[in-house]
Amino acid sequence: MFASTERFYDDSKTRCQINSRAPGGGGINVARNLRRLGLDVCAIFPAGGHHGDLLAQLLSADGLPFQRIAIANETTQNIALSELSTGKALHLVFPGAVVLPDEWQRCIDAIDALSPAPQMLVISGSLPPSIPAPFFADVIRHCHQRSIKVVLDTSGPALQPALEAGVFFVKLNREDFTALGYNGPDTPKDRLKALKKMVDDGWAEHLVLTLGPNGALLASRSGELMHVTPPPVTVVSHAGAGDSFVSVMTCKLFQGKAVAEAFSYGVAAAAAAISTPGNQLEDFDWLERVHAGVTRRI
Protein backbone atom coordinates (compact mmCIF):
# COMPACT_ATOMS: atom_id res chain seq x y z
CA MET A 1 0.00 0.00 0.00
CA PHE A 2 1.27 3.49 -0.88
CA ALA A 3 0.14 6.27 1.44
CA SER A 4 1.08 9.85 2.27
CA THR A 5 0.74 12.39 5.06
CA GLU A 6 1.62 16.05 5.33
CA ARG A 7 3.71 15.44 8.42
CA PHE A 8 4.80 12.57 10.69
CA TYR A 9 3.94 13.00 14.39
CA ASP A 10 5.55 11.01 17.19
CA ASP A 11 3.29 12.37 19.95
CA SER A 12 -0.15 12.18 18.33
CA LYS A 13 -2.06 10.66 15.44
CA THR A 14 -0.54 10.88 11.97
CA ARG A 15 -3.47 11.03 9.58
CA CYS A 16 -2.72 9.46 6.22
CA GLN A 17 -4.22 9.23 2.76
CA ILE A 18 -4.15 5.94 0.87
CA ASN A 19 -2.84 6.75 -2.60
CA SER A 20 -2.81 3.31 -4.21
CA ARG A 21 -2.54 -0.41 -3.63
CA ALA A 22 -0.15 -2.41 -5.75
CA PRO A 23 0.82 -6.07 -5.81
CA GLY A 24 4.29 -6.45 -4.38
CA GLY A 25 6.93 -8.58 -2.74
CA GLY A 26 10.32 -9.25 -4.30
CA GLY A 27 9.37 -12.05 -6.69
CA ILE A 28 6.14 -10.42 -7.77
CA ASN A 29 7.88 -7.09 -8.44
CA VAL A 30 10.47 -8.89 -10.56
CA ALA A 31 7.83 -10.90 -12.45
CA ARG A 32 5.82 -7.77 -13.27
CA ASN A 33 8.93 -5.96 -14.49
CA LEU A 34 10.06 -8.90 -16.61
CA ARG A 35 6.64 -9.15 -18.22
CA ARG A 36 6.75 -5.43 -18.99
CA LEU A 37 10.19 -6.00 -20.51
CA GLY A 38 8.65 -8.54 -22.88
CA LEU A 39 9.46 -11.91 -21.29
CA ASP A 40 7.02 -14.77 -20.67
CA VAL A 41 6.76 -15.24 -16.90
CA CYS A 42 4.74 -17.00 -14.23
CA ALA A 43 4.83 -15.93 -10.59
CA ILE A 44 4.50 -18.69 -7.97
CA PHE A 45 3.79 -17.57 -4.42
CA PRO A 46 1.97 -18.60 -1.21
CA ALA A 47 -0.91 -16.36 -0.17
CA GLY A 48 -3.81 -16.56 2.25
CA GLY A 49 -6.65 -14.63 3.84
CA HIS A 50 -8.14 -11.31 2.77
CA HIS A 51 -4.80 -9.84 1.68
CA GLY A 52 -4.02 -13.01 -0.28
CA ASP A 53 -7.31 -12.61 -2.13
CA LEU A 54 -6.57 -8.94 -2.76
CA LEU A 55 -3.10 -9.79 -4.09
CA ALA A 56 -4.58 -12.32 -6.52
CA GLN A 57 -7.20 -9.79 -7.66
CA LEU A 58 -4.57 -7.11 -8.28
CA LEU A 59 -2.38 -9.52 -10.26
CA SER A 60 -5.33 -10.70 -12.33
CA ALA A 61 -6.21 -7.10 -13.14
CA ASP A 62 -2.55 -6.51 -14.05
CA GLY A 63 -2.60 -9.48 -16.44
CA LEU A 64 0.33 -11.29 -14.82
CA PRO A 65 0.24 -15.10 -15.13
CA PHE A 66 0.59 -16.66 -11.67
CA GLN A 67 0.06 -19.72 -9.50
CA ARG A 68 -1.18 -18.98 -6.02
CA ILE A 69 -0.39 -21.61 -3.39
CA ALA A 70 -3.21 -21.27 -0.85
CA ILE A 71 -2.12 -21.03 2.80
CA ALA A 72 -4.09 -20.91 6.04
CA ASN A 73 -2.59 -17.71 7.42
CA GLU A 74 -3.06 -14.09 6.40
CA THR A 75 -0.67 -12.62 3.82
CA THR A 76 1.28 -9.58 5.02
CA GLN A 77 0.62 -6.09 3.68
CA ASN A 78 3.56 -3.65 3.67
CA ILE A 79 3.27 0.14 3.64
CA ALA A 80 5.25 2.84 1.83
CA LEU A 81 4.45 6.11 3.63
CA SER A 82 5.61 9.51 2.35
CA GLU A 83 5.83 12.78 4.31
CA LEU A 84 4.84 15.45 1.82
CA SER A 85 6.26 18.42 3.74
CA THR A 86 9.82 17.06 3.72
CA GLY A 87 9.92 14.39 1.01
CA LYS A 88 10.94 11.76 3.57
CA ALA A 89 9.61 8.25 3.16
CA LEU A 90 9.14 5.24 5.40
CA HIS A 91 9.00 1.74 3.92
CA LEU A 92 7.32 -0.41 6.59
CA VAL A 93 8.02 -4.10 5.98
CA PHE A 94 6.46 -6.78 8.19
CA PRO A 95 7.37 -10.46 8.69
CA GLY A 96 5.87 -12.85 6.17
CA ALA A 97 2.90 -15.04 7.02
CA VAL A 98 3.45 -18.38 8.76
CA VAL A 99 3.68 -21.03 6.03
CA LEU A 100 3.08 -24.63 7.14
CA PRO A 101 5.25 -27.56 5.96
CA ASP A 102 2.67 -28.97 3.55
CA GLU A 103 2.16 -25.47 2.13
CA TRP A 104 5.83 -24.75 1.40
CA GLN A 105 6.21 -28.25 -0.02
CA ARG A 106 3.42 -27.41 -2.48
CA CYS A 107 5.52 -24.43 -3.63
CA ILE A 108 8.37 -26.79 -4.51
CA ASP A 109 5.93 -29.18 -6.19
CA ALA A 110 4.53 -26.33 -8.31
CA ILE A 111 8.03 -25.41 -9.53
CA ASP A 112 8.84 -29.07 -10.25
CA ALA A 113 5.61 -29.40 -12.25
CA LEU A 114 6.34 -26.53 -14.63
CA SER A 115 6.34 -27.94 -18.15
CA PRO A 116 8.33 -27.23 -20.15
CA ALA A 117 10.96 -26.34 -17.56
CA PRO A 118 11.69 -22.60 -17.54
CA GLN A 119 15.12 -21.40 -18.57
CA MET A 120 15.43 -19.29 -15.42
CA LEU A 121 13.90 -19.16 -11.96
CA VAL A 122 14.14 -15.95 -9.91
CA ILE A 123 14.07 -16.41 -6.13
CA SER A 124 13.42 -12.99 -4.65
CA GLY A 125 12.40 -11.88 -1.18
CA SER A 126 13.09 -12.96 2.37
CA LEU A 127 12.05 -16.34 3.72
CA PRO A 128 9.27 -16.33 6.36
CA PRO A 129 10.61 -17.47 9.75
CA SER A 130 8.34 -20.53 9.68
CA ILE A 131 10.18 -22.03 6.68
CA PRO A 132 13.52 -23.81 7.32
CA ALA A 133 16.64 -21.91 6.24
CA PRO A 134 17.72 -24.60 3.69
CA PHE A 135 14.43 -24.22 1.75
CA PHE A 136 15.85 -22.09 -1.07
CA ALA A 137 18.89 -24.40 -1.29
CA ASP A 138 16.49 -27.33 -1.80
CA VAL A 139 14.67 -25.41 -4.53
CA ILE A 140 18.00 -24.63 -6.22
CA ARG A 141 19.07 -28.28 -6.19
CA HIS A 142 15.74 -29.22 -7.79
CA CYS A 143 16.44 -26.59 -10.48
CA HIS A 144 19.94 -27.98 -11.11
CA GLN A 145 18.36 -31.36 -11.89
CA ARG A 146 16.35 -29.71 -14.68
CA SER A 147 19.12 -27.35 -15.92
CA ILE A 148 17.21 -24.26 -14.74
CA LYS A 149 19.43 -21.23 -14.06
CA VAL A 150 18.64 -19.63 -10.70
CA VAL A 151 18.73 -15.91 -9.92
CA LEU A 152 18.84 -15.19 -6.19
CA ASP A 153 17.98 -12.07 -4.20
CA THR A 154 17.37 -12.91 -0.56
CA SER A 155 18.80 -12.24 2.88
CA GLY A 156 18.95 -13.70 6.37
CA PRO A 157 19.62 -17.33 7.34
CA ALA A 158 18.49 -18.64 3.93
CA LEU A 159 21.20 -16.78 2.01
CA GLN A 160 24.36 -18.78 2.68
CA PRO A 161 22.85 -22.27 2.20
CA ALA A 162 21.36 -21.06 -1.09
CA LEU A 163 24.71 -19.70 -2.28
CA GLU A 164 26.50 -22.88 -1.30
CA ALA A 165 24.07 -24.77 -3.55
CA GLY A 166 25.35 -22.61 -6.45
CA VAL A 167 23.36 -20.07 -8.46
CA PHE A 168 23.62 -18.31 -11.81
CA PHE A 169 23.33 -14.71 -10.60
CA VAL A 170 23.00 -13.30 -7.09
CA LYS A 171 22.50 -9.75 -5.86
CA LEU A 172 23.80 -8.89 -2.39
CA ASN A 173 23.58 -5.66 -0.41
CA ARG A 174 26.14 -4.44 2.12
CA GLU A 175 24.34 -6.06 5.06
CA ASP A 176 24.27 -9.42 3.24
CA PHE A 177 27.97 -9.11 2.44
CA THR A 178 28.83 -8.51 6.09
CA ALA A 179 26.60 -11.39 7.20
CA LEU A 180 28.52 -13.67 4.84
CA GLY A 181 31.71 -12.84 6.75
CA TYR A 182 33.28 -9.85 5.00
CA ASN A 183 35.01 -7.55 7.51
CA GLY A 184 37.69 -5.99 5.31
CA PRO A 185 38.15 -2.44 4.03
CA ASP A 186 35.27 -0.71 2.25
CA THR A 187 37.29 -0.03 -0.90
CA PRO A 188 36.04 -1.37 -4.25
CA LYS A 189 39.34 -3.18 -4.79
CA ASP A 190 39.13 -5.13 -1.52
CA ARG A 191 35.44 -5.88 -1.89
CA LEU A 192 35.95 -7.10 -5.46
CA LYS A 193 38.71 -9.42 -4.27
CA ALA A 194 36.32 -10.98 -1.75
CA LEU A 195 33.54 -11.23 -4.35
CA LYS A 196 35.91 -12.96 -6.76
CA LYS A 197 36.73 -15.56 -4.11
CA MET A 198 33.01 -16.28 -3.64
CA VAL A 199 32.70 -16.76 -7.40
CA ASP A 200 35.80 -18.99 -7.47
CA ASP A 201 34.28 -21.05 -4.63
CA GLY A 202 31.31 -21.81 -6.89
CA TRP A 203 28.66 -19.74 -5.15
CA ALA A 204 27.56 -17.89 -8.29
CA GLU A 205 28.45 -17.35 -11.91
CA HIS A 206 27.73 -13.62 -11.59
CA LEU A 207 27.85 -11.96 -8.17
CA VAL A 208 26.72 -8.37 -7.60
CA LEU A 209 27.15 -6.21 -4.49
CA THR A 210 24.98 -3.09 -4.45
CA LEU A 211 26.30 0.06 -2.74
CA GLY A 212 23.34 2.45 -2.78
CA PRO A 213 24.22 5.80 -4.40
CA ASN A 214 27.75 4.47 -5.03
CA GLY A 215 26.44 2.00 -7.59
CA ALA A 216 27.43 -1.65 -7.51
CA LEU A 217 30.31 -4.10 -7.90
CA LEU A 218 30.38 -7.18 -10.12
CA ALA A 219 32.57 -10.30 -10.06
CA SER A 220 31.89 -12.84 -12.79
CA ARG A 221 33.19 -16.31 -13.54
CA SER A 222 33.91 -15.10 -17.06
CA GLY A 223 36.51 -12.70 -15.61
CA GLU A 224 34.71 -9.35 -15.30
CA LEU A 225 35.52 -7.25 -12.22
CA MET A 226 33.60 -3.99 -12.44
CA HIS A 227 32.40 -0.98 -10.46
CA VAL A 228 29.52 0.92 -12.06
CA THR A 229 28.02 4.11 -10.61
CA PRO A 230 24.77 5.80 -11.70
CA PRO A 231 24.33 9.47 -12.53
CA PRO A 232 22.77 11.64 -9.79
CA VAL A 233 18.97 11.34 -9.62
CA THR A 234 16.28 12.82 -7.39
CA VAL A 235 15.02 10.19 -4.94
CA VAL A 236 11.24 9.77 -5.03
CA SER A 237 10.74 6.25 -3.65
CA HIS A 238 13.08 3.43 -2.62
CA ALA A 239 10.36 0.79 -3.07
CA GLY A 240 11.34 -1.80 -5.67
CA ALA A 241 14.81 -0.43 -6.50
CA GLY A 242 16.61 -3.71 -5.86
CA ASP A 243 13.88 -5.64 -7.65
CA SER A 244 14.30 -3.37 -10.67
CA PHE A 245 18.04 -4.07 -10.66
CA VAL A 246 17.40 -7.82 -10.62
CA SER A 247 14.68 -7.56 -13.28
CA VAL A 248 16.72 -5.68 -15.85
CA MET A 249 19.98 -7.55 -15.34
CA THR A 250 18.11 -10.87 -15.51
CA CYS A 251 16.33 -9.79 -18.69
CA LYS A 252 19.56 -8.77 -20.39
CA LEU A 253 21.29 -12.02 -19.40
CA PHE A 254 18.28 -14.02 -20.61
CA GLN A 255 18.51 -12.19 -23.94
CA GLY A 256 22.17 -13.21 -24.25
CA LYS A 257 23.66 -9.75 -23.71
CA ALA A 258 27.21 -9.46 -22.36
CA VAL A 259 27.38 -9.52 -18.58
CA ALA A 260 29.03 -6.05 -18.50
CA GLU A 261 26.07 -4.58 -20.40
CA ALA A 262 23.53 -6.44 -18.28
CA PHE A 263 25.23 -5.22 -15.10
CA SER A 264 25.40 -1.56 -16.14
CA TYR A 265 21.70 -1.68 -17.10
CA GLY A 266 20.92 -3.16 -13.67
CA VAL A 267 22.62 -0.21 -11.96
CA ALA A 268 20.70 2.19 -14.20
CA ALA A 269 17.43 0.39 -13.44
CA ALA A 270 17.86 0.85 -9.69
CA ALA A 271 18.54 4.56 -10.17
CA ALA A 272 15.58 4.90 -12.55
CA ALA A 273 13.33 3.13 -10.03
CA ILE A 274 14.18 5.36 -7.05
CA SER A 275 13.58 8.47 -9.15
CA THR A 276 10.00 7.48 -10.08
CA PRO A 277 6.93 6.71 -7.92
CA GLY A 278 5.74 3.18 -7.13
CA ASN A 279 7.56 -0.15 -7.11
CA GLN A 280 7.81 -0.79 -10.87
CA LEU A 281 9.83 0.27 -13.89
CA GLU A 282 7.44 1.86 -16.35
CA ASP A 283 9.33 4.61 -18.19
CA PHE A 284 11.89 2.76 -20.31
CA ASP A 285 12.94 5.94 -22.11
CA TRP A 286 14.00 7.26 -18.69
CA LEU A 287 15.88 4.01 -18.07
CA GLU A 288 17.83 4.51 -21.29
CA ARG A 289 18.68 8.11 -20.37
CA VAL A 290 19.88 7.03 -16.92
CA HIS A 291 21.91 4.23 -18.49
CA ALA A 292 23.60 6.72 -20.82
CA GLY A 293 24.93 8.49 -17.70
CA VAL A 294 26.42 5.53 -15.82
CA THR A 295 30.17 5.40 -15.20
CA ARG A 296 32.00 2.10 -15.66
CA ARG A 297 35.19 1.31 -13.82
CA ILE A 298 36.88 -2.00 -14.66
The CA distances from residue 158 to 62, 133, 178, in Å, are: 30, 4, 15
13: CB partners within 8 A, 6+ apart = none
What span, in angstroms and rounded, lies between the C-alpha atoms of 2 and 280?
Answer: 13
Catalytic residue among 109, 112, 186, 243: 243
- Rounded Cα distance between 95 and 5, Å, is 24
Distance CA 140, CA 134 (A): 10
Active site residue 62: no
φ, ψ dihedrals at 92, nearest 5°:
-95, 115
Q: Which amino acid is at 75?
A: T
Given the DSSP bridges, would you call strands 120-124 and 149-153 parallel, antiparallel or unpaired?
Answer: parallel
Q: Catalytic site residues? A: 243
